[in-house]
Amino acid sequence: MELADHFKRLYNIDIGKHSFIYDSKNPKQISSKLVESNDLSICVLNIQAFNKDTNILRKTDEYEQNLWEDIKYIKPIVIIDEPQKIEGTAKKKSKSLVAIEELKPLFTLRYSATHKQLYNQIYKLDSYAAYQKDLVKKIVVKTVYGVIPKDYPYVRYLAFTSDLKAKIEIFSQDQGGTIRFKTFNVGGGASLEELSGGLSQYKDYRIAEEPHKLKPLSVATKEGFFGLELGHSNHEIEKNEAVRIQIRLAIQNHFTKQLNIIRSGRKIKALTLFFIDAVDKVRDDSAPDGRGEYLRIFDEEYKKYVTTHAHELEMNKEYFPDYMNVQAVREGYFARDKKNNAVDVEGWDSSLDDSDVKLKAKSQEDIDRGISLILEKKDELISFEEPLAFIFSHSALREGWDNPNVFTLCTLKAGGSDIAKKQEIGRGLRLPVDNTGNRCIDRRINELTVIANDYYDHFASALQKDFNDNMHFVKDEVTADILIETLKSAGMPEEKISPKLVDTLKEELVSVGVMNTDNVLKGSSQQITKTLDNMVFVDDTLNEHAQLIKQQFKELMVQKGTRKIEITNGDNAPYDNGVRAYVTQGEFEKIYLGLRKNLMQRSIYKFKIDKDKFIDDCTFQINQSLLFKKAKNEYKVETGRAKFNTSQMFVMEELAYGDKELEVEITSDPKSDFEIANFIMYHTMLPRLAIFKILQGVTKRELLNNQDILDEVTQLIKGILNDTKASNITSYEVINGYELDERNIFELDTITEADFEQEWRVFKAKSDRSSAMNEYYKLDSEGESKFAHKLENNENVLLFTKLKKGGFVIDTPYGNYSPDWAVVCRKEALKDPSIGIYFIVETKAGKTWADLTDVEKNKIHCGELHFKAVSDDTKFDWVNGYEDFVNKFGVADSNMEDL
C-alpha cells in the first residue's frame, strides 16, 4: 500500500491496476497479464516459483506452452529485492540467478542495503547517507552485564591473533597486588593456573588444543572440556538477573518514549521488540500456565511498572487501552509448523547474515508462516486501539519485523557477535509513522534504543564491524565525500566547492599516483605520504589551499582507518634527544660523576613497630569496613550512542563509567582459616601467627569466604602495614656493592609529535646556553614546566635533570619511590656551603604540607633518611615551586625574567 500511494503521489498512477502477484494455481495469468499485455505490467513472484526445473512456471504443458520461454521472448526488465540472497558462491551461481540470466532480460535492477557484489552501481543511499539526511533513527545502546566474582574461574575469548594464538582474559594476581583482569595470548597446553599467578579456582585449567580461527576455543578442566566462541566467556552466573534487568529497562524505555512522543503532540504508537533464540523461553508447554521464563519475568516487571505509574498512565488511557491487562499488551511471534504450532527453527544461526543461513525447505516454510502472521498484524500494531505493544519473536523472523514504530529493541540472547548484527538492529531503524500513516521526521523522536546482554566494549566493537562490513567500508577508498570534506576542512569557501573542483582534485591525486582510477590509495605508506607532500596542484584554486588540503586529506583518511598514510607535523624538526654539556667537558664530567655516584647507591630501611598495636589496628579497621558489607553480585548498565564520523565510518562512542543497576545478595563456599591466612600471607608477607590473631578479632568472619571481600580486606591489611612501617622507620643503611644502573637513572625521554599537543608537556633546552642535561624532557604538569624554565634561567644552577621514573628509586614500605629532579648548584651561590652542591628535589606544585597525603609525607621522610645515609654532599627536600626551592636550599636567584 505504501508503494502504491508513493507512485500515486509522484505520477498519478494506480500501480495496483498494472501489477499482480503470481499464483501457481493460476499460471495462465502470466500469459494474459504479462506476456500478451501491451501496457505496463508488473508480475511479483518469489524465487521458489522459478528456481527449479520442476516448477509449473518452467514446465511445458500439454499444449506445448512453456511460460518461462514466453517471458524470455518479451525480454522483461527484472527487479530483484535483496539480490545478495541469491548470489550463490564464487564458484557456483545459485539456481535462481541462473534462471534469471536465462531470461536474458533487457536489464536487471538490484535493490539492497547490503549488497555483497556491486554490478554497475547507478544509485547509492547507504547507511551513512541515510544517517546524514535523517532518513533513519539514531541508535542508542544499553548493555547489561554482571560483575564477576573474583573466585570464579572466568575465561573470556577475546580474539584470534595474527600469530595463531588465542587472546584470552582471566583473573590474575601479582604478589602484593589485588586480583584483576589480565589478558594473555595463549597456545595449546597453556596453564591458566600459572597465568593467573596461582589462583586456586584455575587449578587444572588448561587450553586443550591449539586455537583455530574457525573453531571455539577449547578449555580443559578436571571435570572435562568446554568451548568458548569468540567474544564469549564462561560466566553465566545468575543469567536470569541480567535478563530481568534487560526486560525492566525495555519496559521503562518503552513507556518513557511513548509518553515523550505524546507530550510532543504526535500520535505515534511505540513498539518494543524482544529477539530470542528459543521458543520455550516464551512459551513453555511443560509449565502449568504455559509461560516460559522470559514471559514470567516480563509479566512481573510490567506489573511493577504499571502499578507504580498508574496515575500517569490513567491520565493518558486513550493511548494505553487495557494497560493493566498484561496478556493484552504482549505477544509472541514464532515460526509455525503445518499444524500452526510455534516451533524453533532447525539449523538457524543468528550470528550469520540471513543470506548465509542454509535452511531446510521445511524450516523456511515454518519461518514464512510466522512472517505471514506478522504482516497480517502490521497495520493494527501501529494503532492505539490495539493494546499490543510488546512483541517477543524468534530472531529467524527478523526479516518480517520492518515495522517503523519499533523504538526499543531488546536482544535476550547470550553475549557475543550474534547480538550485534546490522540486519537485526536495522529492523528498528526505519522512520516511524503516526496513526494516519504520515512519516515523522523529528530527530528528537527518531531514536532506537538497543538493549543487549553483553560487555559494552565487545558489543560496540561487533556492531561497528558489522555495520562497516555491510556498507563495504574500504579503509583505503577515497570517496567523493572524503574529497568534499577535505576541501571544507581546509577552509575553502563553500561557493568554490563545486562538483567540477572535486573531480579536479580526484584527477590530480590520480595523476601523481596517490590513488588509482578505482579511487583506492596506491602504494606503500612511505610512497603515498612522500608523493602527497611533494605534489604541486595544477589547479589554481586547489593550489591556494594546498598545504591545508594535504593535511586535511591525510587526517580524514587516517581517521577512516587507512595505514597507507603517515601524519607528521612539518612545523617541528625531528626530535633527536641527547645529552648536552654547556660547561667545559672536564667540568661537566666532574659534576656528572659526582651526581651519578650519589644516585647509584641503594639502601634499605629499618623500622620498629608495636606488634600488638598493629594487630589491634587491623582488627578495628577490618571490623569497621565490614560493618555494613554484604556478599553480593552486581550488575551494571552502560549506555552509548552510535554515529558516523567525518570519514563515513560507523562508530560507537567510548564510555567513562557504568551505572550499577542491581545487587543480588549471595552466599559463598566456606574457606578455612588456613586458606584465608595463606592468601593474606602471600600478599602481605606477614607471619601466619599474626594473621591468625587478626582473624580471631574479626566479628563478621563469614564474609571473608567471599573472594572479593577477602581481596579488599587483604589490601586493607597491606595498607595498614605499609603506613605502620613508614611512620616507624628508624634509619636507612647503604647496601655496599649493590647499585642502580646509571643507564636507567639518566635514560633519555623519547619525544613524539603527540607530546606537543599541550604546550607545557615538553621542556626544550635553550640552544645558546642551558644547564639542562638533556635536550628534551617530558613533564607531568604546568608547575614542573615553570620550575624547569626558572632553573634554566638561574646562572647559579650548573646542571639539572629530571630523574627517570623507575630509573632512580628509593625503597619504601609503599614500594619504589622516584623523586623528580636532580639539581647541581655553584657552591659560592649557596647561603650554607656546608650542605653540599647536590640537591634532589620532589615537586608538589602549588601544595602546602597540609595538602599532602600521609603516604606522600611518609615517602618524603623516606627520601630524607635515604640521602642522609648516602652522602653529606646531597640534600633532599620537597618544594611547591621554584621560589620554595631557592628558599629551602638557600640558592641565590639570578633569574632575569619570570617565565
pLDDT at 281 over 90: no
Percentage of the residues of the chain whose pLDDT score is greater than 70: 83
pLDDT at 782 over 70: yes
| Mean pLDDT on 85-98 | 82
Q: How many CA atoms lie within 13 A of 266 on its CB side?
A: 22
Kindly state the helix (H) or strand (E) to which residue 860 belongs, with its residue range: helix 854-870
Domain identity same for 26 and 87:
yes
pLDDT at 625: 94
Domain identity same for 513 and 556:
yes
pLDDT at 460: 67
Domain identity same for 420 and 382:
yes
Q: What CATH number does residue 397 fall under? A: 3.40.50
Domain identity same for 21 and 84:
yes
pLDDT at 456 over 70: no
Measured CA distances, 44 to 64, 368, 398, 509, 673 (Å): 24, 17, 22, 46, 76
Assign 233 a pLDDT band (cuts: 50, 70, 90). confident
Give the pTM.
Answer: 0.59
pLDDT at 569: 47
Are 205 and 155 contacting, i.e. CB atoms less than 8 angstroms apart? yes
Q: What CATH number does residue 847 fall under? A: 3.40.1350
Domain count, the chain: 5
User: What's the rounded Cα separation, in Å, for the pair 728 and 610?
Assistant: 9
Contacts 24+ apart (CB under 8 A), 832-835: 832/890, 835/875, 835/889, 835/890
Are 91 and 54 contacting, i.e. CB atoms less than 8 angstroms apart? no
Mean predicted lDDT score pLDDT of the chain: 83
User: What's the rounded Cα separation, in Å, for the pair 841 and 839?
Assistant: 6
User: What's the rounded Cα separation, in Å, for the pair 432 and 428?
Assistant: 9
pLDDT at 1: 57
Which stretches of 699-853 are DSSP H helices? 707-727, 742-745, 782-793
Domain identity same for 328 and 432:
yes
> Torsions phi, psi of 136, nearest 5?
-135, 165
Contacts 24+ apart (CB under 8 A), 860-867: 861/726, 861/729, 862/605, 862/726, 862/729, 862/732, 862/810, 862/812, 862/813, 862/817, 863/810, 863/817, 863/819, 865/605, 865/729, 865/731, 865/732, 866/603, 866/605, 866/732, 866/810, 867/598, 867/840
Of 169, 203, 233, which marks where a domain is finished?
233
Of 470, 492, 510, which marks where a domain is finished?
470
Domain identity same for 154 and 254:
no
In a domain, 810, yes or no: yes
pLDDT at 208: 94
DSSP 327: H
In a domain, 840, yes or no: yes
In a domain, 46, yes or no: yes
Kindly state the helix (H) or strand (E) to which residue 447 belongs, with its residue range: strand 447-452
Domain identity same for 92 and 115:
yes
Of 470, 496, 528, which marks where a domain is finished?
470
DSSP 670: -
| Mean pLDDT on 369-380 | 60
Lookup result for grid cell 564510555: 655
In a domain, 612, yes or no: no
DSSP 839: E
Between β-strands 447-452 and 138-147, what pairing exists: parallel, antiparallel or unpaired? parallel
Domain identity same for 420 and 527:
no
Tens-place pLDDT, residues 146-155: 678 888 899 9
Lookup result for grid cell 552486581: 634
pLDDT at 375: 57
In a domain, 671, yes or no: no
Q: How many CB atoms lie within 10 A of CB 761?
A: 18
Domain identity same for 502 and 525:
yes
| Mean pLDDT on 674-693 | 94
Are 49 and 22 contacting, i.e. CB atoms less than 8 angstroms apart? yes
User: What's the rounded Cα separation, in Å, for the pair 597 and 761?
Assistant: 30
Lowest-pLDDT range of 33-47, 320-334, 832-846 = 832-846
Provide DSSP, 359-398: --HHHHHHHHHHHHHHHHHHHHHTSTTS---EEEEEGGGG
Lookup result for grid cell 539449523: 347
In a domain, 824, yes or no: yes
- For 321, residues 6+ apart whose C-beta sits below 8 A from its C-beta are 384, 385, 387
Domain span at 122: 3-127
> Torsions phi, psi of 356, nearest 5?
-95, -10
| Mean pLDDT on 520-537 | 87
Domain identity same for 117 and 61:
yes
DSSP 35: I
Tens-place pLDDT, residues 651-663: 777 665 556 556 6
Domain identity same for 277 and 382:
yes
Provide DSSP, 246-300: HHHHHHHHHHHHHHHHHHTT-----EEEEEES-GGGTB-TTSTT-B-HHHHHHHH
Assign 415 a pLDDT band (cuts: 50, 70, 90). very low
User: What's the rounded Cα separation, in Å, for the pair 630 and 703?
Assistant: 7
Kindly state the helix (H) or strand (E) to which residue 102 belongs, with its residue range: helix 95-102
Helix, strand and coil in the chain, % to nearest 5: 40, 20, 40
Are 301 and 251 contacting, i.e. CB atoms less than 8 angstroms apart? yes
Lowest-pLDDT range of 250-264, 376-390, 465-479 = 465-479
User: What's the rounded Cα separation, in Å, for the pair 202 and 234?
Assistant: 13
Note the maximum CA span of the chain: 123
Tens-place pLDDT, residues 570-614: 444 456 777 776 555 666 777 788 888 888 999 999 999 999 999
User: What's the rounded Cα separation, in Å, for the pair 507 and 482?
Assistant: 14
In a domain, 373, yes or no: yes
Measured CA distances, 624 to 154, 650, 816 (Å): 31, 49, 30
| Mean pLDDT on 366-390 | 70
Domain identity same for 824 and 848:
yes
Are 384 and 269 contacting, i.e. CB atoms less than 8 angstroms apart? yes
Q: Which of 829, 756, 421 is nearest to 568 (CA)?
A: 756
Lowest-pLDDT range of 119-123, 309-313, 568-572 = 568-572
User: What's the rounded Cα separation, in Å, for the pair 54 and 51?
Assistant: 9
SS3 676: helix
Q: Which three cell numbers stand for residue 591?
A: 659534576
In a domain, 801, yes or no: yes
